[in-house]
Chain A
Amino acid sequence: MSAIVTGALLATTLPVNPGHAAMIATDAVGVAGTPSTAALRARLDAFLRRADVQAGLTRLGVPPVEAQARVAALSDAEVDLLAGRVADVPAGGDTAGLAGLVLLTVIVMLVSDVLCYTNIFQFNRCVLR
């Protein structure tokens, strides 16, 4: 079960938003090609801002604002690890159904584990040391 869930998570990726006019963030300097860490940060941030994700975090005793602040202070390498666990789940309702809800819950639990709030999955080491 654990291995299957992890595989499914790693196989799915979020679409990366096309670039838009802006200052180039320090983290993005000199990083060409493949999804930059800045894009991964944006992906994580968007994920943590979703209402259904915030509800899930709150149920686990994780204040969403605190989770965002922790993610903001992480290094690039740590963000790479964390972003790898966040997959695109349809937002609840429309296409999601029960399967989508279960998957979302599992992912919120994974993120909470990786952020070192919980230790639900034995295989999911709290990567932030």
Chain B
Amino acid sequence: MAAAVYTPGREGTLASDMIAAARRNGRVAVPVTSLPALLDELAAGNPVIVFQNLGLGFVPRWHYAVAYGYDLAAGRIVLHSGATERLATPLDTFENTWARSGYWGLVVLPPDRLPVTATEASALDAAAGIERARRPREAVTAYRTVLARWPDDLRAWMGLGNAAFAAADLAAAQAAFEHATVVVPAAPEAWNNLAYVFAAQGRSNDAVTAAQRAVTLAPPAQAQTYLDTLAELTHASP
């Protein structure tokens, strides 16, 4: 973990490393970049890691804190900052120090939850990041969580299928790719990957049929990829 976030030469942890480290640990990491979004997350009970510049632009003093509550009537935000477990800071002071970091904030949650301010794109980025970090089981959960909120997202269905395939859950991969062909019937990607699932299941005839379907649907610029799949799977079948 220390190697994952520590950056030699910078003597500290960089914000990007936090995102990467969260994903490599199978967590959903979504940026939060405005005060209204920050307050929405806190209201939903999601703590937010915030990057502050406690100094000035020309003598920066960088600092991470975790915001976990606020009191709008008193105009204060509650931070866990350094060794101080509860630091109630005036909201305008906080906003100034946060603005000097470019409003960098991050919500990190287990893969079965999503930040309330996540957009379809940022939620998908977070799930795809877990998949790329080779945590397929957590990625499956994250994609299912994304699909609960955006059930028609083709990339989420494809990601679910790919992550399930990587986790060796062929039945779940098949179901996801089949659903992808229903959500976007003209998507050759879904048929292509479904073909590989059928091949892995030993269903060579179904694999060839699905690969042919992908070739039929492919736009000219991508045709070669799908023709190659068809050739490979036809060759592989008895």
Residue numbers of A with Cβ under 8 A of B are: 18-30, 32-33, 60-63, 66, 69-70, 72-76, 78, 116-119, 126, 128-129
CB atoms of A119 and B104 under 8 A apart: no
- The interface residues of chain A lying within 8 Å CB-to-CB of B187 are 29-30
CA distance A29 to B104 in the complex (A): 29
In the complex, whether B38 has a CB less than 8 A from a CB of chain A is: no
With both chains docked as a complex, state the minimum distance between the C-beta of A58 and any C-beta of chain B, in angstroms.
12
Instruction: Specify which chain A residues have a CB less than 8 angstroms from the CB of B219 in the assembled complex.
Output: 32
Q: What residues of chain A lie closer than 8 Å to B20, measured between beta carbons?
A: 69-70, 73-74
Q: How would you classify the secondary structure of chain A's contact residues: helix, strand, loop or mixed?
A: loop
Q: Are B128 and A75 closer than 8 Å at their CB atoms?
A: yes
Contacts of B14 in A (CB 8 A): 116, 126, 128-129
Query: Given A19-B225, A33-B221, are A73 and B129 neighbors across the interface (CB < 8 Å)?
Result: yes
Q: Flag if B221 contacts A23 (CB, 8 Å).
A: no
B residues less than 8 Å from A63 (CB atoms) = 3
Q: Are A26 and B17 in contact (CB under 8 A)?
A: no
19 A-B pairs (CB sep. < 8 Å): A19-B225, A21-B225, A23-B162, A23-B165, A23-B192, A28-B189, A30-B187, A61-B8, A63-B3, A66-B3, A66-B4, A73-B24, A74-B16, A76-B125, A76-B128, A116-B14, A117-B10, A129-B102, A129-B104
Instruction: For the complex, give the distance between the alpha carbons of A20 and B15 in Å.
Output: 36
What class of interface size applies to chain B in its complex with A? 35 or more
Set of chain B residues within 8 Å of A72, measured between Cβ atoms = 132-134
- Give min CB distance, A35 to chain B, whole Å: 12
| Residue from the list A20, A24, A118 in contact with B189, Cβ < 8 A | A24
A26 to B166 alpha-carbon distance, docked (Å): 12
Contact status A117-B7, CB under 8 Å: yes
Contact partner of B222 (CB less than 8 A), chosen from A19, A20, A26, A69, is: A19
In the assembled complex, the Cα of A27 lies from the Cα of B159 at a distance in Å of: 8
Q: A73-B24, A116-B16, A128-B14 known; A26 and B228 CB under 8 Å?
A: no
Contacts A73-B19, A129-B104 known; A32 to B222 CB distance under 8 Å? yes
Q: Is B208 an interface residue (CB 8 A)?
A: no
